[in-house]
Structure 1
Amino acid sequence: MSNFKNYAGFRDHSTRYEVRRLRQPSHGGVIRCPYIETFHGLDRARLAAFAHALDGPDGPDKTITGLVEICRIHLNGDQVIREELVDLIDERVAFRFLNDIALPRPNQLSVAVERLQEEVNRLERLGID
């Protein structure tokens, strides 16, 4: 994949993530375009999608369905090469995820300086910089 950018015509290849809040059709049955936010990282896109999904249906103009899509968009310059659905989230998924997952507390993520120094010394002995 590292040589992918070296091929002619693919020098401007990039990837972005779109969070799409789906909307209900209008009274005449016309399909409305979703609200779209663009992110460069999947983590930020997922956080935004969870926040939108927790809002549930209705939204500010009473047309939001409560479904949120995360799509990966592959671009070459401004031209879309490929688009793929990464996640489809609704209020139930977001609620269950946020209430069932056990996130670590900050004190559980901390590492003692002595332990960190031991790890650095071990890597130096192995010849890894």
Structure 2
Amino acid sequence: MDTDRPARPDLLHWLWYAVGGGLPARYRDWVLRDTTAPGWWWRQIVRALVQATPVGVIVGLLIPGSIGIRIMAVCGGIFVAMIYVLAFIDEAVEHRAVKAGFPRGYAKSIRDQRRAPERDAEADRYARRYRGGGPTR
């Protein structure tokens, strides 16, 4: 068993977490990994879709009209919801880490540290291409 991976929540705890609920303290390290590991933004999108699914089903069943109108209404609602999810993704993920007991900004600082070498390499490439110089440091 991989000792670097913290204990994962079971399905019911994960569903509660996906809709915005807090997890017990034993999942604290898992929440930090969930909010900082590569692919963290994909996981946030999946959680948002889990939140939107019940609303989409209810709207699809209750809106009068043809099935095409219902499908377009649900798809349009999910599209608008995803715009908001992407606009506020950093804040939403940071809030999850804060609810797990980490200080505000901690998860973002871990993500930034992890991305620093890539970001520095991009800055160097930019400097060489557009500034005509070598490394920026």
TM-score (norm 2): 0.23
Relative to the length of structure 1, the TM-score reads 0.24
Q: Which has the larger radius of gyration?
A: 1
Q: Report which of the two has the higher share of strand.
A: 1
Structure with the larger helix share: 2
